[in-house]
Amino acid sequence: MKLFKFFILFLAITLLIGCGKKKEKSAGELYQEALVFLTDIEKSDPIKAQEYLTKAITLDPNFTEAYMGRAEAHISLGNSEAAFADFSKAIQLDPTYAEIYFKRGKILAGLEQNEKAFGDFNKAIQLKPNYAEVYFERGKIYFSLSAYKKASEDFNRALSIDPNHTKANFYLNELRPFLNESS
């Protein structure tokens, strides 16, 4: 009988100790929580998102979306170089994901590394030919380089894919005087 009571007591203590332990979150759970900190205006906290995503990456070093999310957090914090590194790692993990090239291209365009930005935008277009936003961003670079005909072609292409692309329409209106001069 003493052995039975001891066993019951041991079992009860084991259960109590076991219930007190916090369950570790999975990489996917950490990623989902980080997205809230990146996308919910009321809960916006890119630093916290960055922490969660770093933990997710530690748990799953091949988690492409976690690198992309962390890159977005870096962008929110003004750290283009860290964002570039995370987008590059995401490309290494999934070289067929057009959005990664697009986002890395935007960083390169912001750093005025236009040739590299063109490379990423062209790759994004190769992977996803009807990606209006890529044409728009590439058109902005052409516009800044006074390559007005190419800029016009890209803005028109963006509008042919998305007729409601107001920014492409705005840039086309800005381009008209330059196109008339070069005629």
Residue-wise pLDDT tens digits, 13-40? 555 555 545 678 898 899 998 888 888 8
pLDDT band at 180 (very low <50, low <70, confident <90, very high): confident
What beta strand segments (E) does 76-129 contain?
A: none
**Eight-class DSSP state of 44:** -
Give the pLDDT score at 39.
87
| Res. 12: pLDDT tops 60 | no
Share of the chain above pLDDT 90, in %: 73
> 90 vs 45, 64, 104, 147, 180, CA distance in Å?
22, 5, 10, 31, 43
pLDDT tens digit sequence for 43-57 = 889 999 999 999 999
What beta strand segments (E) does the chain contain?
A: none
Using alpha carbons only, give the angle 59, 79, 74 rounded to the nearest 5 degrees. 35
pTM: 0.83
Give the pLDDT score at 42.
85
Residue 131 DSSP SS3: coil
Structure tokens at 31: 């990623």
**Eight-class DSSP state of 94:** -
Give the pLDDT score at 24.
85
